[in-house]
């Protein structure tokens, strides 16, 4: 036989030895909650669930080495539902039917999660909620099994039973304590045989050892200490027919009764499965398909429902035992399911003699291991105590009210914690004024002086993160002084991830405050291609923020800065000059202070060009070696971005120059140069310049020295801008 097949067989066998006793215990837990006389039926349902899930989950889910079977969350929810239904006065036969309906709806929901690609979403349920939920499940299991370990009569109140030793059956206590002790010690003695198998085997032996002194223990009649006879059974087709008949008779009231339990069961089974898959990926270096696995688990649970078995999930213990014993593919899962079927056929008569207290001991150990004891570490640190409170609240609600309410409580508290964390993070990344930053438009010294004098009348606010009801109130508080004293506020939205109606209402309030003293609100860098698909400008329009007018939106931040600068200058009597006298060649900034001989020589390399407003002088990727000197007009340098947007690099006006990079390295253009107004340019070609320099080396030295000096000034200005942008 192939060595790999042998490894898969041993993995499947080891997994079966772990999964089968747990499945029996979980089945007994659920059905004994309906009636102690139904423990045998519960054992059969648990074994059937392990068999069908073992055979079908690998077929549909296809996650290598994953073992599926009845699990603790399913047992806790179904047993709690059974107790609740009985408390409402519902008849026992109908309770069994409603449990089956819960399993059916849960299976359909799981399949739906997979079809709707919900695998990623379920994995994002906050861990404190999952931790608290599983800890609550473990306590529910523990409080349900302690009475069985003590052998308390059915219906005995929990605390009354614990405090009344004369109600205890010491034979069951002995068997249960021995089972628990062996399960805890066994892993230290051997890793080859699962502790569950050793514990169950020793528990059965101890029961029969007691039977040697007390013969009445060796009778099944009216013996509450053992599982009891399993149902005689019926054919698979008869079971399927029975389930189909049940489905046909479902009433709307039945759906309402179990809807919340079915949702909780489907979510918990999905979380349990995906959590196991994540750990399995780490061990096997594979990567599971979460959506396909959810669909597969849903279909497998649907098949389990049809066959009369118990719902389940991908289980951690059996899966890890499978991998550690050599299982690596879905074949080991099929083998595990097949071996459970074989055990079901061969061992069914022997299951009747399994002591209830031994199963209770197994479940108590499982509950102990499910409980998140690491959560108590959160109490040591102030920052994590609220997370512990979420876990504790979920546990308390699970115990006092129910698992469904616990889930809602946990999610609600997790949302509050998220809002708390968001509030702690200020959305105001940086605040500056026009005294500290400026547009990339060249200004005369007199204009710069005016901007320095009045620059604190306009603020530039860099925002970040999520603008929603949890963060905007603090933002308003931070800007209250600015709203009282300034005319213009520019919000740079490039780093904002989301925007809600509360935020837009806040902006409307700010705009009204600014209008009171002749100001306005401005926005720039509005995202339109976020991962969530939100277009801020369209959203602001939809909610009516832009209806009143007066709010200005600019694609580029520099346009907004230039607009505010112009408004400040206009308030001081400045007017923008549109008609300009073209400069002579010698009056261009970079050529000033050059001697007449150099100017004359250089003038012979230059040609003149007129460019109309909106026309491109060059674009990204164009070839060219010219440097452009502006006689008249304004030119903008734009860097194209994704989504048809641009980053404004600079604005050059009369007397300035641009295009020096291609002039120096003769490579393709790296940005777009667009005429903002009609321009007259001097165009200096590097090719013509080289010819002239060949005969006049001094000319080249003087021009490159002047270029180097001018570029140095621009780089220093860039350094100053970066120091403002990159402060920490």
Higher-confidence residue of 64 and 346: namely: 64
* Helix axes 72-87 and 127-150, enclosed angle (nearest 10): 70
The rounded mean pLDDT for the chain is 83
Beta bridge partners, 628, equal 658, 683
For the residues 647-667, what does the mean pLDDT come to? 85
User: Does residue 112 sit in the same domain as residue 181?
Assistant: yes
What does the pLDDT read at residue 125? 66
Calculate the alpha carbon distances from 611 to 262, 633, 655, 686 in Å: 72, 9, 16, 20
In a domain, 580, yes or no: no
pLDDT band at 103 (very low <50, low <70, confident <90, very high): very high
Same domain? 239 vs 336: yes
Residue 354 belongs to some domain of the structure: yes
Same domain, 267 and 390: yes
Taking the alpha carbons of 635, 636, 637, 643 in that order, is the dihedral positive or negative? negative
Predicted local confidence at residue 422, as pLDDT? 66
Domain assignment present for residue 576? The answer is no
User: In this predicted model, which residue has the larger pLDDT, 244 or 12?
Assistant: 12
Task: Looking at the structure, tell me whether residues 50 and 90 fall in a common domain.
Answer: yes
Residue 74 shares a structural domain with residue 166: yes
pLDDT digits (tens, 9 = 90+) for 283-329: 777 888 989 999 999 999 999 999 889 999 998 778 877 887 778 89
Residue 234 lies in a domain: yes
DSSP string, 603-639: HTTEEEEEE-TT-EEE-TT----EEEEEEES-EEEEE
The pLDDT-based confidence of 366 (bands split at 50, 70, 90) is confident
Query: End of a domain among 543, 571, 599?
Result: 571
pLDDT band at 154 (very low <50, low <70, confident <90, very high): low
Pairwise pLDDT comparison (592 vs 453), residue with the higher score: 453
Q: Are residues 546 and 694 in the same domain?
A: no
Which of 373, 393, 416 represents a domain boundary (last residue)? 416
Region 648-673: mean pLDDT is 87
Q: Taking Cα atoms as reference points, which of 541, 565, 567 lies closest to residue 553?
A: 541
Q: Which of 416, 446, 470 is the C-terminal boundary of a domain?
A: 416
Give pLDDT, residue 531. 47
| Amino acid 631: pLDDT | 92
Tracing tokens 């253009």 back to the chain, one arrives at 669
Looking at 118-127, 285-294, 627-636, 688-697, which range is the least confident one?
A: 118-127
Share of the chain above pLDDT 90, in %: 19
Q: Are residues 444 and 396 in the same domain?
A: no
Percent of the chain with pLDDT over 70: 91
Residue 579 domain-assigned (yes or no)? no
Within a 13 Å sphere around the CA of 244, how many CA atoms are in the beta-carbon half?
A: 6
Give the pLDDT of residue 572: 82
For 524-543, what is each residue's pLDDT tens digit?
988 765 545 467 888 888 88
Cα 444–Cα 450–Cα 455 angle in degrees, nearest 5: 120
How much is the pLDDT for 211? Answer: 85
- Domain assignment present for residue 306? The answer is yes
Question: 301 and 174 in one domain?
Answer: yes
| pLDDT tens, position by position, 410-430 | 778 777 777 776 666 678 888
Q: Which residue has the higher pLDDT, 62 or 120?
A: 62
Where residue 667 sits, what CATH number does that domain have?
A: 2.60.120.10
Q: Of 534, 486, 656, whose CA–CA distance to 587 is shortest?
A: 656
Mean pLDDT of 485-513: 88
Please tell me whether residue 522 adopts helix, strand or coil conformation.
strand
461 and 411 belong to one structural domain: no
pLDDT at 516 over 60: yes
Distance (Å, whole) CA 206 – CA 174: 8
**pLDDT of 348 strictly over 70:** yes
Q: What phi, psi does 657 have (nearest 5°)?
A: -145, 165
Structure letter (DSSP) for residue 523: E
- Distances from the Cα of 239 to the Cαs of 102, 249, 301, 346, 395, in angstroms? 17, 16, 15, 20, 37
The CA-atom distances, in angstroms, between 685 and each of 582, 652, 696 are: 20, 19, 16
Rounded Cα distance between 623 and 661, Å, is: 12
Structural domain contains residue 577: no
Please indicate, yes or no, whether residues 24 and 126 belong to a single structural domain of this protein: yes
Q: Which residue did the predictor score with more confidence, 402 or 305?
A: 305
Domain range enclosing 297: 3-416
Tokens of 200: 């169950």
pLDDT in tens, 197-239: 788 888 889 988 888 888 877 787 777 777 777 666 555 566 6
Same-domain check for residues 684 and 555: no
The number of folded domains in the chain is: 3
CA distances from 386 to 378, 417, 584 (A): 9, 8, 72
The mean per-residue pLDDT over the stretch 555-576 comes to 85
pLDDT tens readout for residues 713-723: 667 766 666 66
Residues 407 and 452 in one domain: no
**71 touches 272 (CB < 8 A):** yes
How confident is the model over 577-581, as a mean pLDDT? 67
For residues 698 and 704, give the distance between their C-alpha atoms in angstroms, rounded to a whole number: 10
Domain-embedded: residue 236: yes
């Amino acid at each position: 036989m192939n060595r790999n097949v042998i490894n898969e067989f041993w993995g499947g066998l080891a997994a079966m030895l772990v999964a089968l006793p747990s499945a029996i215990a979980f089945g007994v837990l659920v059905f004994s909650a309906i009636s102690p006389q139904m423990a045998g039926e519960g054992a059969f349902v648990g074994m059937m669930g392990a068999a069908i899930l073992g055979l079908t989950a690998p077929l549909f889910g296809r996650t290598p080495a994953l073992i599926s079977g009845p699990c603790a969350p399913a047992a806790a929810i179904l047993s709690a539902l059974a107790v609740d239904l009985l408390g409402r006065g519902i008849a026992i036969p109908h309770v069994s039917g409603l449990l089956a309906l819960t399993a059916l709806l849960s299976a359909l929901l799981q399949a739906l999660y997979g079809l709707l690609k919900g695998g990623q979403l379920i994995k994002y349920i906050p861990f404190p909620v999952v931790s608290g939920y599983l800890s609550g499940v473990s306590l529910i299991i523990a409080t349900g099994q302690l009475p069985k370990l003590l052998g308390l009569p059915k219906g005995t109140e929990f605390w009354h039973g614990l405090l009344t030793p004369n109600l205890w059956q010491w034979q069951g206590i002995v068997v249960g304590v021995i089972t628990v002790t062996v399960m805890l010690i066994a892993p230290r003695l051997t890793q080859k045989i699962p502790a569950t198998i050793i514990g169950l085997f020793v528990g059965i032996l101890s029961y029969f050892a007691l039977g040697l002194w007390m013969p009445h223990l060796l009778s099944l009649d009216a013996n509450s200490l053992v599982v009891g006879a399993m149902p005689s059974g019926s054919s698979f087709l008869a079971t399927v027919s029975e389930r189909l008949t049940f489905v046909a008779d479902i009433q709307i009231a039945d759906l309402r009764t179990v809807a919340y339990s079915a949702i909780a069961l489907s979510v918990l089974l999905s979380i349990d499965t995906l959590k196991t898959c994540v750990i399995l990926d780490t061990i096997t270096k594979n990567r599971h398909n979460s959506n396909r696995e959810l669909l597969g688990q849903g279909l497998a649970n649907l098949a389990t429902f049809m066959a009369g078995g118990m719902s389940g999930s991908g289980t951690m213990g059996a899966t890890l035992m499978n991998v550690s014993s050599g299982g690596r593919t879905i074949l080991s899962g099929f083998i595990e399911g097949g071996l459970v079927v074989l055990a079901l056929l061969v061992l069914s008569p022997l299951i009747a003699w399994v002591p209830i207290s031994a199963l209770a001991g197994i479940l108590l150990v499982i509950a102990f291991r499910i409980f998140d004891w690491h959560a108590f570490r959160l109490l040591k640190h102030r920052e994590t105590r609220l997370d512990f409170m979420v876990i504790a609240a979920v546990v308390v609600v699970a115990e006092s009210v129910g698992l469904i309410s616990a889930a809602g409580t946990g999610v609600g508290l997790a949302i509050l914690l998220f809002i708390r964390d968001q509030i702690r993070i200020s959305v105001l990344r940086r605040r500056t004024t026009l005294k500290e930053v400026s547009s990339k438009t060249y200004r005369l010294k007199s204009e710069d002086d005016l901007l320095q004098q009045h620059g604190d009348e306009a603020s530039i606010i860099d925002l970040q993160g999520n603008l929603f009801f949890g963060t905007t109130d603090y933002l308003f508080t931070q800007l209250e002084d600015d709203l009282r004293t300034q005319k213009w506020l520019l919000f740079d939205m490039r780093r904002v991830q989301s925007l809600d109606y509360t935020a837009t209402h806040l902006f409307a309030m700010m705009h009204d405050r600014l209008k009171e003293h002749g100001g306005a609100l401005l926005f720039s860098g509005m995202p339109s291609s976020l991962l969530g698909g939100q277009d801020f400008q369209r959203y602001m329009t939809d909610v009516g923020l832009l209806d009143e007018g007066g709010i200005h939106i600019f694609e580029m931040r520099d346009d907004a800065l230039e607009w505010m600068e112009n408004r400040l200058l206009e308030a001081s009597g400045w007017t923008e000059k549109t008609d300009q006298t073209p400069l002579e060649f010698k009056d261009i900034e970079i050529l000033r202070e050059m001697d007449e001989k150099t100017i004359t020589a250089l003038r012979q390399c230059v040609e003149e060009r007129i460019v109309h407003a909106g026309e491109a002088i060059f674009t990204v990727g164009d070839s060219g070696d010219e440097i452009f000197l502006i006689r008249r007009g304004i030119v903008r340098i734009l860097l194209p971005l994704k989504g048809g947007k641009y980053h404004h690099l600079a604005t050059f006006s009369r007397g300035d120059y641009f295009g020096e990079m291609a002039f120096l390295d003769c490579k393709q253009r790296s940005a777009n140069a667009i005429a903002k107004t009609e321009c007259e340019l001097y165009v200096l070609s590097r090719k013509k310049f080289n010819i002239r320099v060949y005969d006049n080396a001094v000319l080249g030295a003087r021009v490159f020295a002047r270029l180097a000096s001018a570029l140095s000034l621009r780089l220093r200005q860039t350094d100053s801008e970066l120091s403002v942008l990159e402060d920490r």
